[in-house]
Every structure is written in structure tokens, then in C-alpha cells.
């Protein structure tokens, strides 16, 4: 049971990553690999700041801003210099590897003795119910601390989802969705699509970086390799969510991404429990996304492999 | 209103594919004028429209709209004054968004888009009133994705969107060319209604000589990147499809003769 709770918590933290990928891939149809770098960038920035004694919330905010800068760089490279989105992302991701090493000073930065968002929650749990307290959930014994962590993550994610949903329903957010759907049309209606792409990819990477920052705090260290494969991971979550929640309104897709992220993390945890070699995790994730991408094409009997969203509405 | 002064545009400059799409075009359109642009394929009529819309910057010359020099303005900035309908019915609408969201986007053409609610309930009722006269039964399907509609329906909605906020200039780029004749006629009817209702200044590119003869109060004929004929007022009213056809034939015959031979012949015959 504590395995389930732990996995769900990590799934919720990674849901922020899935939301970031949802923005770049689904809203903007922009295959943004920057996420691999900005995930680590967020973790590195937040960790380095917390090691320096900065307030964890400020550190998280800094991670978000760091991610936005990374995303904006990709956006500028793509829109101002006309470089292909994938290549623009690869350039920034590669550059971020060095930057991350500089930010952390070494390849692995432990946070176990630092004050983090999660150490706050643990202290809160101790003050409410005492250290090492256990409670029963449907007949299973779990530590109260883990439950508090889960609850905080859950409500945190709900708040982020609501903000994101509201944003994509505002005038500017609607214009962003139109930019990804038909850039020529929205330009003819007076929107500077370049500016919106830069802003959108920045927000996307802000979420990704925040996810990295929180994961580092949860697992107690930041590692320069932790972003590896995260883009495909996020994409898998979004795809699972879309398959489960067959509705195309922005709100449902956002909720789907969160549910998909948690489910995917749970599936992985169960598979590992059943003896899956952790070394095989990335290839299985990649295969999963590959299959999920070709299934719609196979069903329509014309194999069309694209990153683009399915041809139905996001409204 | 719109003053185009000696604009030139060459694509793929200095390569074998060099195309001199516009060779010094000048055009002045008054307030409320409805101008049809005719021309052979590759004559530069769509290029002229795109130059005004800002799809690209012209190499030389100036474009002045409402006494404002917009020559160096970007496409999205010009959209503040210009409404557009494209040849391809898929270009003018966002397919995965609902009809009402598309309309809501159009209600903000050229305006600042902030954090206000994108689809206020008050607008939804207004949209129903807007689509009702189309007689396409769209008023009950406003929340459906626009991509599910036919080309004609999408083109009609694009027209509504382009004129929802009265534009200073309406650009129509062969907007019925991709439609079947019956639908095209419907869309042309709607075009005429919307233009005469608000007395919109319009520049319409068309392939159909019948449309050019029936609509508007001025016909411009382009050939090889230049304006070769310009009919206004009574001249335009007297113009028939056959007259236009013979003009086209004349242009085609001229094309078939080598330019050097043509000048030689001119010496003999004129």
C-alpha cells in the first residue's frame, strides 16, 4: 500500500511534466525536446538554491522561471531564426546539460538534510499526528506522513490544473490554442503568433522544470541525468489520459493528463514489483508511446505517424 | 483609402526560379469601393493581395491604408484594419475549435487579447443571431468543431469572421474557387450582402469573369505582374463577359509572339 501511495505521489508530481508536454505537443503541435533539459534544469536550480539556504517555495518559483527561460530560448530559436522545432529543442537541451552541471557544481546534489517543501509537510505531519504514526486505509497500514504528502500533492495539482484550464479559456489562451490549430488564420485576426509560441513553450517548460524541482525534493537529490526520457514519459501520460477520457474540451484533457500520469507511474511501479528490470524501463516507455501513436493510424487503415493531435476538437 | 504606389516584388531573386511577381503596380481605391481583380494564372493578382495583407514585404514601393503607411507593418499588425478570406476554405478557420470559439476569436481581430473570458455568455447569443441568416442550421451547432463543416459552410463563417468587426479593407482571395458552383453562388450572395450592408472597401481576386461583371464597381485586369486594364464607372457597367474574354485572348496572343518580334511588328503596323 505504501508503494501505491508513493507511486501516486510521484505520479502527481510528474503530472506537472505531463501538463507541460500537453501544452507544447497538444496545444502548439510543437514537439519540444527542451523538456528533457528543463526538467533537470528545474531540479538543479531549486536544489542549488535550497542548499544555499533559500526558502523552498522561492526555490520552486526560481525553478519555474528557469524552465521558462529555457523554453523561451527554444521558442526564440524556432520563431526568430526559423530553425525546426525539434532541432531548436535539441540545441537548448544540449546546452542545458552543461548549464545544469554548472548550477549543481557536480553531477549529483543530495538534499536529504535540506529544508524542502516536503520536509515542511513531514514536519507538519509530525506536529499533527506525531512521528512514525501509522493509519489504516481500507485494511492496509500506511504511515500518516505519506498520506499527508499525497494529499498536498493532490491539492497542489488541482490548483495548477484549475489555473491552466482558466488560462486556456481566456482570450489570450484561446488565441494560443488557435495558434497551434491554424497559425495563418489567427495571424489574419491580428495575433502575433511568434510571440505566443515563445510564451507558450516558456510556460510549458516552466511546468516541466517545476515538476523536476519537486521530484528532486521528493526523492532527496537532484541528478544531472534525471531528465533523460522525461519528454516521452510525459507524452505517454498525455496519451493515456486522452485514451481514458474521450472528451476534447481543454478541461478534460488537462484532467486526463493528470490521471494518465498517475496511472502510468502506478503501472510502472507494479511492473517493477513483478520483476521488470529497471534498465528496460525506457525501452518499454518508448515502445508504449510508439504503439499508442500508430494505433489510430492502423485503425484508420492508413499508417500516418505524426505528433499532431487527433482530428477532433479541443474547445 | 488604399494607395498602392509602384510596388515591386521578385521571388527567388537571382536564381533560375526567379519570378517577378509584381512589376511596379500602382492602385488607388476610394472609400467604399468594391474592386474585382482579374488575371491569367501567375499574373500576380494573389501576390498583390498578399502584399497588401502583409504575407511578405514588398521590395520597393509603398502601401498606404487610411493615410497610414503600412508598408513595413507585419501581417498581424495590419489585421487591425484588414479582414481576409482565403482561397482554401481550411485556411480561414481553426478546425479543432468550436464554431463559437472561432467567432469569438474574430470578435477580437486586431484588439488586445488579455485575461478576460474568451467566450462570454453574452456573445453566444449574438453568435446565434449572426449565423441565423446563413440558413445553414448552424445556430444549434455552435459548440461543434468547425472542422466538421463543409467547405462552403466554413467559407461563409470565414466571411462572417472577417467582417464581424467592420474592417477598413476586406481582401477576398478567390474565396469561391474551391467550392462547387451552387455553394459558390451562395457564398457570393452572402459576400454581396455583407459588403453592401457596411459599405466595405473590398479588393476581390477572382477567376470568374461572371462574378467580376456582376459584382463591384471596378475591374482591374492583371498580366505578368502589371495592371493592364482598369475599368471604372460606366465603362465597368457596360462590360460583358465576352469583352473580358476577348481581352484575355488578346493578352494570350501577345504572349505567343516573341517580344522582339512584337516590337518589330509594332513598327510595321502602328
Taking the C-alpha atoms of residue A148 and residue A146, their distance in angstroms, rounded to an integer, is 5
pTM over 0.95: no
Q: Does A193 touch chain B (CB under 8 A)?
A: yes
The answer to whether B21 and B10 have CB atoms below 8 angstroms apart is: yes
Q: Is pLDDT above 70 for B258?
A: no
Instruction: Residue B94: list chain A partners with CB under 8 A.
Output: 177-178, 181-182, 185-186
Taking the C-alpha atoms of residue A160 and residue A170, their distance in angstroms, rounded to an integer, is 16
Taking the C-alpha atoms of residue B131 and residue B119, their distance in angstroms, rounded to an integer, is 16
Taking the C-alpha atoms of residue B127 and residue A240, their distance in angstroms, rounded to an integer, is 35
Taking the C-alpha atoms of residue B148 and residue B128, their distance in angstroms, rounded to an integer, is 18
What would the pLDDT profile of A151-204 be if each residue is shown by its tens digit? 999 999 999 999 999 999 999 999 999 999 999 999 999 999 999 999 999 999
Tell me the H-state helices in chain B.
Answer: 45-53, 75-78, 99-106, 121-131, 151-163, 181-198, 209-214, 233-238, 241-256, 259-269
Cell of A301: 487503415
Q: Quick one: pLDDT at residue B184?
A: 92
When CB atoms are compared, the residue of B74, B97, B116 closest to A181 is B97
Taking the C-alpha atoms of residue A143 and residue A145, their distance in angstroms, rounded to an integer, is 5
Residues in chain B: 270
Domain boundaries, chain B: 31-57+73-245
**Helix H or strand E segment including B199:** none
Sheet holding B60-65, edge to edge: B19-29, B2-11, B60-65, B68-69
Q: Does A174 touch chain B (CB under 8 A)?
A: yes
Q: Quick one: pLDDT at residue A313?
A: 46
Residue B93 to residues A51, B98, B103, B136: CA-CA distances in angstroms?
A: 51, 10, 9, 17
Q: Nearest-CA distance from B219 to chain A in Å? A: 25
Domain boundaries, chain A: 2-228
* DSSP codes joined into one string, B113-130: --SSBSS-HHHHHHHHHH
Segment among B36-40, B63-67, B265-269 with least mean pLDDT: B265-269
Instruction: Residue A247: list chain B partners with CB under 8 A.
Output: none
> Is B111–A182 a contact, with Cβ atoms under 8 angstroms apart?
no
Q: Is pLDDT above 80 for A142?
A: no
Q: Once rounded to an integer, what is the mean pLDDT over residues B108-118? A: 91
Q: Please report the ipTM that was assigned to this predicted complex.
A: 0.88
The answer to whether A43 and A213 have CB atoms below 8 angstroms apart is: yes
Interface test with B, best of A179, A306, A313 (most B CBs within 10 A): A313
CA atoms within 13 A on the CB side of A92: 32
The answer to whether B16 and B63 have CB atoms below 8 angstroms apart is: no
Instruction: Residue A193: list chain B partners with CB under 8 A.
Output: 76
| Nearest residue in chain B measured CA to CA from A171 | B118
- B31-57+73-245, CATH topology level: Rossmann fold (3.40.50)
Cα angle at A247 between B129 and B88, to 5 degrees?
55
Chain B (125-184) residues lying within 8 Å, Cβ to Cβ, of chain A: 143-145, 147, 161-162
Q: Quick one: pLDDT at residue A301?
A: 55
Q: A310 falls in which pLDDT band (50, 70, 90)? A: very low
Q: Once rounded to an integer, what is the mean pLDDT over residues A46-66? A: 95
Interface test with A, best of B70, B76, B90, B169 (most A CBs within 10 A): B76
**Helix H or strand E segment including A114:** none
Cell 557544481, located at residue: A105
Q: Quick one: pLDDT at residue A134?
A: 75
What would the pLDDT profile of B129-161 be if each residue is shown by its tens digit? 999 988 888 989 999 999 999 999 999 999 999
Q: Nearest-CA distance from B196 to chain A in Å? A: 22
Amino acid at each position: 500500500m505504501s508503494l501505491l501511495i508513493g507511486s501516486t505521489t510521484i505520479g502527481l508530481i510528474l503530472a506537472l511534466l505531463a501538463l507541460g508536454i500537453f501544452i507544447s505537443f497538444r496545444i502548439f503541435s510543437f514537439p519540444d525536446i527542451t523538456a528533457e533539459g528543463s526538467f533537470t534544469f528545474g531540479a538543479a536550480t531549486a536544489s542549488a538554491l535550497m542548499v544555499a539556504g533559500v526558502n523552498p517555495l522561492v526555490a520552486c518559483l526560481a525553478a519555474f522561471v528557469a524552465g521558462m527561460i529555457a523554453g523561451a530560448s527554444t521558442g526564440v530559436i524556432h520563431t526568430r531564426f526559423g530553425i525546426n522545432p525539434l532541432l531548436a529543442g535539441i540545441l537548448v537541451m544540449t546546452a542545458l546539460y552543461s548549464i545544469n552541471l554548472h548550477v549543481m557544481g557536480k553531477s549529483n546534489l543530495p538534499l536529504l538534510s535540506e529544508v524542502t517543501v516536503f520536509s515542511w509537510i513531514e514536519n507538519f505531519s509530525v506536529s499533527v499526528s506525531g512521528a512514525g504514526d501509522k493509519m489504516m486505509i481500507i485494511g492496509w497500514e500506511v504511515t500518516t506522513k505519506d498520506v499527508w504528502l499525497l494529499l498536498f500533492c493532490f491539492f497542489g495539482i488541482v490548483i495548477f490544473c484549475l489555473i491552466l484550464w482558466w488560462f486556456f479559456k481566456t482570450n489570450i489562451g484561446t488565441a494560443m490554442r488557435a495558434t497551434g490549430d491554424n497559425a495563418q488564420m489567427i495571424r489574419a485576426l491580428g495575433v502575433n503568433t511568434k510571440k505566443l509560441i515563445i510564451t507558450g513553450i516558456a510556460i510549458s517548460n516552466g511546468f516541466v522544470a517545476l515538476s523536476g524541482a519537486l521530484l528532486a525534493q521528493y526523492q532527496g537529490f537532484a541528478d544531472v541525468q534525471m531528465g533523460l526520457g522525461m519528454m516521452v514519459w510525459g507524452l505517454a501520460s498525455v496519451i493515456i489520459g486522452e485514451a481514458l477520457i474521450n472528451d476534447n474540451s481543454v478541461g478534460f484533457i488537462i484532467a486526463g493528463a493528470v490521471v494518465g500520469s498517475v496511472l502510468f507511474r502506478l503501472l510502472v511501479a507494479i511492473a517493477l514489483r513483478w520483476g521488470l528490470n529497471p534498465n528496460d524501463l525506457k525501452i518499454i516507455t518508448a515502445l508504449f508511446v510508439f504503439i499508442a501513436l500508430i494505433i489510430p493510424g492502423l485503425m484508420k487503415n492508413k499508417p500516418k505517424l505524426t505528433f499532431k493531435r487527433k482530428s477532433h476538437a479541443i474547445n | 483609402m488604399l494607395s498602392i504606389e509602384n510596388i515591386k516584388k521578385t521571388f527567388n531573386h537571382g536564381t533560375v526560379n526567379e519570378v517577378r511577381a509584381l512589376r511596379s503596380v500602382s492602385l488607388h481605391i476610394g472609400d467604399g469601393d468594391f474592386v474585382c481583380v482579374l488575371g491569367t494564372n501567375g499574373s500576380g493578382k494573389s501576390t498583390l493581395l498578399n502584399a497588401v495583407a502583409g504575407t511578405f514585404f514588398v521590395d520597393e514601393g509603398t502601401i498606404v491604408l487610411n493615410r497610414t503607411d503600412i508598408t513595413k507593418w507585419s501581417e498581424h499588425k495590419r489585421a487591425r484594419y484588414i479582414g481576409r478570406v482565403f482561397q482554401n476554405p481550411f485556411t480561414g478557420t481553426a478546425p479543432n475549435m468550436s464554431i463559437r470559439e472561432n467567432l469569438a476569436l474574430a470578435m477580437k481581430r486586431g484588439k488586445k487579447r488579455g485575461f478576460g473570458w474568451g467566450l462570454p455568455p453574452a456573445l453566444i447569443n449574438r453568435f446565434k443571431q449572426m449565423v441565423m441568416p446563413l440558413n445553414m442550421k448552424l445556430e444549434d451547432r455552435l459548440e461543434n468543431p468547425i472542422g466538421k463543416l463543409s467547405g462552403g459552410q466554413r467559407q461563409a463563417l470565414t466571411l462572417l469572421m472577417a467582417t464581424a468587426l467592420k474592417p477598413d479593407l476586406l481582401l477576398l482571395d478567390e474565396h469561391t474557387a474551391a467550392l462547387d458552383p451552387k455553394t459558390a453562388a451562395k457564398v457570393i450572395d452572402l459576400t454581396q450582402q455583407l459588403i453592401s450592408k457596411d459599405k466595405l472597401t473590398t479588393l476581390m481576386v477572382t477567376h470568374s469573369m461572371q462574378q467580376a461583371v456582376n459584382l463591384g464597381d471596378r475591374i482591374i485586369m492583371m498580366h505578368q505582374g502589371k495592371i493592364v486594364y482598369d475599368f471604372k464607372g460606366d465603362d465597368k457597367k457596360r462590360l460583358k463577359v465576352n469583352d473580358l474574354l476577348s481581352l484575355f485572348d488578346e493578352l494570350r496572343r501577345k504572349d505567343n509572339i516573341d517580344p522582339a518580334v512584337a516590337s518589330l511588328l509594332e513598327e510595321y503596323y502602328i
